[in-house]
Amino acid sequence: MVTMVLLPEKKATHKLVRVEDGGLLLTALEPYCTATSLIEFARKDGSVHVHPQVRKRKIFVGQAQEHSSAIGIPSCTMSCVLDPGSWTKLAWSVVTGTLLVCLLLATSRMGSLYGDGEEVDAHVSYQATEDLGLCQMPQSPSCLSHDNRARLSSLPLDGSLTFSNTSSAASDFGLIRFSEPSAVVHPKSVSDIEAVVHAVLRDTRSGLTLAAKGRGHSVHGQAQALNGVVIEMSSLKGIKVAPHGEPGCSQPFVDAAGGELWIDVLKETLKEGLAPRSWTDYLYLSIGGTLSNAGIGGQTFLFGPEISNVLQLDVVTGTGHSVKCSPLNNPDLFHGVLGGLGQFGIITNARIVLEPAHEKVRWIRAMYTDFATFTRDQELLVSEPPESAFDYIEGFVVLKNEDPNNGWNSVPFDGKKINPSMIPEEGGSVLYYIEVVKKFSSNDVVSLGETVERMLAPLSFIPTLVFTTDVPYEKFLNRLHDVEVSLTSQGLWDVPHPWLNLFVPRSSIASFDALIFKHMIKDDFTGPILIYPLKRERWDSRSSAVIPDESIFYLVAFLRISFPASGPLLSSLIAENDKIMEVCHNAKLGCKMYLPEYEDLDSWKLHFGERWEAFARRKHKYDPDFILAPGQNIFPRIQTSPATAIA
């Protein structure tokens, strides 16, 4: 057997051929993995080496049995990465050895096949590669049928629908999975979404599915729909602030369409001197996307996740009906959709609680060498009464070195370097720091210093390693945007992000530190590591979100980045994540994955535990044909009774 991979010469491309569901995106940064070997392709020099570790993970492949003989190769398996207008390299890996062959695809030749930079239908792309004698990708049995295409084309939409410009809906922030849909809808109204759902429901033969996509900030293809229909929710707009509430509800709130971004909600509510209470760290996320998961950040210990700050939802269910729901009106749907991973309906509008906004914040970071002291102080802070607590509490793990991005020099606000002599010798290979914020207005400036000093007094951080700055409230909430702009300018934002987010019970956090932080985190780790406590009492147990069954548990987030010119390859990072999960499982730490990604039903049942039956019941009730959110890999659409998939 021969394994072949097309590698772009200059950069990774995401113009991929249609792929099978459940696999990994293969780019120039990613090795091709089979069940028997793992071959890693180096970045720019095209060198090839065989990795000693064998990884059994599904991967996108296309069979090219027929056309392999045309280029003098026996029966082969081929996975292609094509970028029109770029030179490519063709690497062949043989079972007994590795042969690297360069294949030059002329720009003019590719341009004539694809048109002058114009998006084309996926079928045309396959024909182009076939005409070149490279490979022939199989047509999946679930490709859009003539009847489905005609049915979708005939919909009287306020927005638009395309069958050719679908590549933007085929990947996400993770750049790990790639599943190209057959159609993409840009709705302008809720009726557009209802119409599309009904059209998909009418397909009774090919298993057509539907996914709602917000900003595309998923990292494992959760908002993708292979050969299905993707609804790009960003075109569904609408933000209306009610600073005085409404009759029967004096609580100020904002109504925001499911496709709106949190940053835009912030800007609109600040005009009224108000803002939502609970935030994620990054604000360029859609309302519907975060509420389908949880939405957590430094305010969660006070107000719960974003899903605990919703008064009302408008949802289009998998039956095609638009339903208004709240804790009192259709409560089962309301609680099911919140944290429901998109399985029960598409959020078209959310009513979110607001509070008075402040002018500025005092932002403080304090460092630790001892993990037990670090976590004790964090738990002390989150246990304070709300009126005496900081307004935001998070924590981080940094490498015990001078690296400006992941070491101790990443902690100061002003970019200055810490003198290594100030770092205590005790402790392991990592350091920790607490990050807290106190909101204030101009009238509070005089007493602010004394107040903050009193709040910090019980803590046992390193006195010489405390850093403080004052910034506008909006700038703090949107603090990661500057990071995004900087990385984008360097070409380092649109790179693979193999993230792993875990909820770790308080009873296991010390073991987690010993097994993972001190043992598995190496000097080449790239990306932030977050760790901070959350309180179970701030979460609504009726929602679909899954958390550990302890009063305090920790978010631990490994926000890895796979850089194109340095550091480990993507496959190695994914393997490290898998190893962390394996260690946690073997040590029986009781961790739950946040933003979960599993490949089989048994894993999902284990994830939900005793809540699985309620989750499956809601699926059967609100999406009985299993058309919604196929990228989560929970309920595959079947043409027999849906009950068989939830047995």
Other beta carbons less than 10 A from residue 438's beta carbon? 21
CA pseudo-torsion sign 638, 641, 642, 643: negative
DSSP state of 139: P
Q: Which residue is catalytic, options 172, 281, 377, 576?
A: 281
Q: Which of helix, strand or coil describes residue 538?
A: helix
Please list, residue by residue across 113-151, b when 16 or more beta carbons sit within 10 angstroms of its beta carbon and e when fewer do: bbeeeeebebbebbebbbebebbbbeebebbbeeebeeb
329 and 311 in contact (C-beta within 8 Å)?
A: no
Confirm whether 281 is a catalytic residue: yes
Residues near 102 by Cβ (< 8 Å), separated by ≥ 6?
46, 89, 90
As a whole number of angstroms, the longest Cα–Cα distance in the chain is 80
Confirm whether 217 is a catalytic residue: yes
Q: Report the distance separating Cα 89 and Cα 8, nearest Å.
A: 6
Q: Which residue is catalytic, options 40, 192, 194, 217?
A: 217
Confirm whether 384 is a catalytic residue: no
Q: Which of helix, strand or coil describes residue 309?
A: helix
Q: Report the distance separating Cα 30 and Cα 171, nearest Å.
A: 15
Q: Which residue is catalytic, options 379, 394, 513, 597?
A: 394
Output the six-digit token pair for 251.
């609580």
Q: Report the distance separating Cα 288 and Cα 260, nearest Å.
A: 8
Q: Report the distance separating Cα 373 and Cα 400, nearest Å.
A: 17
Other beta carbons less than 10 A from residue 640's beta carbon? 7
Other beta carbons less than 10 A from residue 399's beta carbon? 20
Q: For residue 371, give the nearest of 550, 162, 518, 170 by alpha carbon.
A: 518
Q: Where in the sequence numbering do the catalytic residues fall?
A: 217, 281, 394
